[in-house]
Structure 1
Amino acid sequence: MPKQEIDASELYDLSLSIVGLVLSEGDQRVEELAQRFSVSEKVILKAVRAITDSEDLTKCVTHFHLNFDEFEDGWISFAKGSTNLEGPPVLSKRQLSSIAIGLDYLASIPQFASNPALAELRKMLKNSGPVPITTVAASRLSDLLEQLQSAISSEKTIICDYRNQKGEQSQRKIDPLLIELRGKKHYLRGWCHINQEVRSFRLDRMQAIQITDEPIAKQSQVAAIPDEVFGSNLDEKIVVLSAQPEATEIFWNFPGASEPVLEKGRWVGKIRVGSLAGLPRHIIRYGGMVEVLEPKEARTMVAALARQILADTDPKDED
């Protein structure tokens, strides 16, 4: 989903990337750049203006000259002005520190701990200047990943408390097979001993994980892992949502039935839910930034929960 706004640091990085692409590969279309960098066309235009507005104030000359005729037709084409591009851009200490923190965070995740390319990057960065190599405190996610990776490597069954998308809490016995990152969420793909098939479990819904001494079952070792994380369910309902840009996370919290599209400043898309009963509490938590468009039954359930919450918060002795 393309970003609608970026901060000054991101704008600077995007501008450098556009300069490099145009000068090395030739003229670029605005819409193609937007797709390439996962931002809106408005953001691309803002970055281009930042490029053309850059000046050498000591000489009163512009770094780049934009071809405005091409620009009006949706193309970005400019020539070098006073800028010197003989060498790579020099990063500030702040930028180097930010990169160092990001690389160190990756190194703290078990999947990347022994990655030689990452180790080489960190070494290069350390040698580039006085930028301290940082340490990242272990988060709950990194602890979970390390624990589950250990279970996968040792082929041991795990037991955990799990809350499904309906909000139902139960203890699960799982043969862990694979960890995947889909959208912004991590999922454990594993053989569920209750359902007797491969299921997907969101890591942030797993609690009290225990690695047992029991080896994973034979059916787990030969089970095919579906490409689709969420699988399919004949009882699933399709729900159409409309969300403000600040609440687009809602589309990542459910299996998607369609790719969200931007309509009149709001993102509209379809999600799949196992039961409508658990949907209202997810919608309400966004405080009006998410609206159910269809089905009517789901709209009614959300409205009913909202009225109930308002009634519960009213003082009983109010005049």
Structure 2
Amino acid sequence: MTKSTTRTGAGLQGRDRLAFLLVLVPYLIEHEQVSVADAAEHFGVNESLIRESVTLIAVSGVPGETSAYQHEDLFDIDWDLFEQRDQIVLTRLVVIDDSPRFSAREAAALIAGLQYLSALPGSSDDEVIGSLMSKLAIGASGRPTEVAVAASPATAALVPVRDALAQRRELSFDYLSADGRTEHRTVDPLRVESLDRDWYLRGWCHLRQAVRTFRLDRMSRVEIGENQAQHGADDLSVPSDFFQPSASDLTVTVDIDTAALPMIAEFFTADSQVREEGGRSLVNLRLGHVHGFKRVVASLGGLAEVTDPGTAREEVAAWASEALAGYGL
């Protein structure tokens, strides 16, 4: 910055000087330790103005209950660093410290939520989220407990899927189907959507010659093909329902606690029927295979029970017994 554009203390009158102090204090708090030269360069002012302003901040504050200024009612700085090394460190904050702050537990909860948000597929504001988490940690009344949230399994597949969509290219991958078999699929990607915690690719499947839905966390070895996709979202009618029933589907009746219905919502189709009575619900679901659904039933810890058909009930019971046997139970 040239000398002609650098403002000196003499150039700031009362109102301007107050405005400058109001922006200088948050800057010093955010940077924790900063040199006089860096602060002067940041604000485009003379170093002497920074020194004068810091000296004024050090004797500023708000009167306490006695209406007289006590030592703890004033800002304070590390005078040794300031006078000997031209470094500014605020060692006591007033007014700001008295403002409501998140507790350490509240800040930790918010940070955990932000970490979960950054781990979701499609989150592109990692820098903003990281900055906000840092500010929450600094601004809390105590040190928040460190938390860690694992990235979603779908995240790895999302990048090539979105690239293929943007380039309108074919996409190939190995897919773990609902019956536990792994098949190689090639699709023309149409769009990516989410349902609760799960993310899905809607695409024209070359094998089935129809629009199919694929869960991203069941996709592996995802690669963008050399060929251009022959189908796009504008060319095809993509059903609003994630799952479309077929003639080979199995109709399964589930007796489930009504409060747990959202846990099986991903298996609902347009013709799913729910009959509620006394806090329980009977649900008719059309499933391509019981294989994937039996894990869901087992995970609900007795809140859900397959009642019909008998073959599905036996398959769920056998799977649960096999799992218990693995633990010696």
TM-score by length of 2: 0.53
- Cα drift, residue 261 of structure 1: 6.5
Measure, in 2, the Cα distance between the counterparts of 1:233 and 1:213. Answer: 32
Give CA-to-partner distance per residue, 1:259-317, whole Å, 9 cap, x none.
75664444432222125x647854774576532234xxx22442367469869x99xxx
What are the residue-to-residue correspondences of 1:1-319 with 2, within 5 Å? 90-109=101-120, 111-114=122-125, 125=136, 128-129=139-140, 138-218=151-231, 222-244=235-257, 251-256=264-269, 257-258=271-272, 263-275=277-289, 278=291, 281-282=294-295, 285-286=298-299, 289-294=303-308, 298-303=309-314, 306=317
RMSD: 4.2
Contact (CA 8 Å) 1:184, 1:252: kept in 2 or not?
Answer: no
The alpha-carbon deviation at position 192 of structure 1 amounts to 0.6
Structure 2 match to 1:57: none
Structure 2 residue ranges without an equivalent (≥5): 1-98
Q: In structure 2, do the counterparts of structure 1 residues 280 and 92 end up closer, same or farther at CA, with 3 Å as the change threshold?
A: closer
SS in 1 for 2:125: coil
Cα displacement (A) at 1:250: 5.8
Deviation digits for residues 35-65 of structure 1, max 9, x if unmatched? xxxxxxxxxxxxxxxxxxxxxxxxxxxxxxx
Separation in 1, partners of 2:320, 2:197: 30
Structure 1: how far apart are the matches of 2:274 and 2:197?
15
Is the CA contact 1:156–1:211 (under 8 Å) kept in the aligned structure 2? yes
Task: Provide the rounded CA distance (Å) in 2 between the counterparts of 1:226 and 1:152.
Answer: 18
Bigger shift: residues 195-204 or 214-223: 214-223
SS of residue in 1 equivalent to 2:267? coil
160-169 vs 256-265, which moves further: 256-265
TM-score by length of structure 1 reads: 0.54
User: For the Cα contact (< 8 Å) 1:106–1:112, is it kept in 2?
Assistant: yes
Deviation at residue 120 of structure 1 after TM alignment: 8.3
5+ residue gaps, structure 1, are 1-87, 315-319
Q: Identify if the C-alpha distance between structure 1 residues 131 and 187 changes in structure 2 by more than 3 Å, giving closer, same or farther.
A: farther
2:67 is matched with: none
- Cα distance change of structure 1 residues 308 and 181 upon mapping to structure 2, 3 Å threshold: closer
Runs of 4+ residues over 6 Å off in structure 1: 130-135, 307-311
The alpha-carbon distance between structure 1 residues 92 and 304, as it changes in their structure 2 partners (threshold 3 A), is closer
1:293–1:109 Cα change, 3 Å: closer
Aligned length: 224
**Cα distance in 1 for residues equivalent to 2:307 and 2:148:** 46
- Hey, what does 1:51 align to over in structure 2? none
